[in-house]
C-alpha cells in the first residue's frame, strides 16, 4: 500500500465511521432508557474509531506513518451490552425506524469488517496492520451483537405486525 492508497483508505474509513455515528446517534435520539443507551454506546464507540482514524490520517498527511498499537486501549474500553430482554426487543420492534437502524447498522458493521480486513492486509507496516486488525475485531464484535439483536427483533417485529412468517 503506497502513501496515497493509505490516505484514501483512511478517508474511506473516516466516512464509514461517520455514517455509523449518524445511524446510531439518530436511533438513540428516537428512544429512551436502555434502548437509547444501546445506540448511544455504539455511537460513542464509532466516534472513537473516527478519532483514531483521523489521528492516523493527520500523521500520514504530515509525512509520517504511525507506529503505535491501539489494541490495549481499544479492548480496554470494551463495554457489556444490555441484556436482550423481551421488553428491550419489544421496544425496538415497536418503532420501524429503530428496526431499520439495527438492519442498517448490521450491514454497515459487515462492510467495515471487510474494509478493515483489506486495509490490514495492505498496510505498509505491522503497526498499521495491527491498527486495522484491531478495528476489524471490534467491528466483528459489534456485528455479532447486532446479529443477535436482529434475530430476536425479526420475530418480535412479525408479532407486532400480526404477520406470520412463511
The string of pLDDT tens digits covering residues 109-127 is 999 999 999 989 988 788 7
Q: What pLDDT was estimated at residue 166?
A: 59
Q: Band of the pLDDT at 159, cuts 50, 70, 90? A: confident
Instruction: Report how far residue 82's alpha carbon sits from residue 127's, in angstroms, rounded to the nearest whole number.
Output: 33
Residue 24 · residue 142 · CB < 8 Å: no
What mean pLDDT value characterizes the chain?
85
Let me know if domain 3-64+82-161 sits in CATH 1.20.1260.10: yes
HSE-CB for 162 with a 13 A CA cutoff: 0
Residue 129 · residue 123 · CB < 8 Å: yes
pTM for this model (two decimals): 0.81
Instruction: Report how far residue 157's alpha carbon sits from residue 152's, in angstroms, rounded to the nearest whole number.
Output: 9
Given a cut of 60, whether residue 103 has pLDDT beyond it is: yes
pLDDT 10s digits, 46-79: 998 899 889 889 988 998 876 666 655 655 555 5
Please give the full DSSP string across the chain, using - where no structure is assigned.
--HHHHHHHHHHHHHHHHHHHHHHHHHHHT--HHHHHHHHHHHHHHHHHHHHHHHHHHHHHTT-------HHHHHHT--PPPP--HHHHHHHHT-HHHHHHHHHHHHHHHHHHHHHHHHHHH-SSHHHHHHHHHHHHHHHHHHHHHHHHHHHHHHHHHHHHT----
Instruction: Report how far residue 37's alpha carbon sits from residue 9's, in angstroms, rounded to the nearest whole number.
Output: 30
Q: Per-residue pLDDT averaged across 16-34, rounded? A: 94
Segment among 23-27, 79-83, 124-128 with least mean pLDDT = 79-83
Q: Is 162 left (phi over 0), alpha (psi -120 to 50) or beta?
A: left
Amino acid at each position: 500500500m503506497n502513501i496515497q492508497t493509505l490516505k484514501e483508505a483512511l478517508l474511506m474509513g473516516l466516512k464509514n465511521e461517520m455514517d455509523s455515528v449518524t445511524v446510531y446517534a439518530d436511533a438513540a435520539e428516537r428512544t429512551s432508557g436502555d434502548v437509547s443507551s444501546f445506540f448511544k454506546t455504539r455511537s460513542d464507540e464509532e466516534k472513537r474509531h473516527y478519532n483514531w482514524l483521523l489521528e492516523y490520517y493527520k500523521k500520514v498527511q504530515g509525512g509520517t506513518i504511525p507506529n503505535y498499537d491501539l489494541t490495549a486501549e481499544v479492548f480496554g474500553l470494551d463495554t457489556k451490552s444490555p441484556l436482550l430482554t423481551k421488553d428491550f426487543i419489544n421496544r425496538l420492534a415497536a418503532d420501524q425506524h429503530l428496526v431499520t437502524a439495527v438492519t442498517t447498522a448490521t450491514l454497515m458493521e459487515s462492510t467495515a469488517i471487510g474494509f478493515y480486513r483489506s486495509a490490514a492486509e495492505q498496510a505498509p507496516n505491522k503497526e498499521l496492520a495491527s491498527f486495522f486488525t484491531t478495528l476489524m475485531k471490534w467491528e466483528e464484535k459489534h456485528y455479532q451483537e447486532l446479529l443477535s439483536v436482529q434475530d430476536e427483533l425479526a420475530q418480535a417485529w412479525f408479532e407486532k405486525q400480526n404477520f406470520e412468517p412463511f
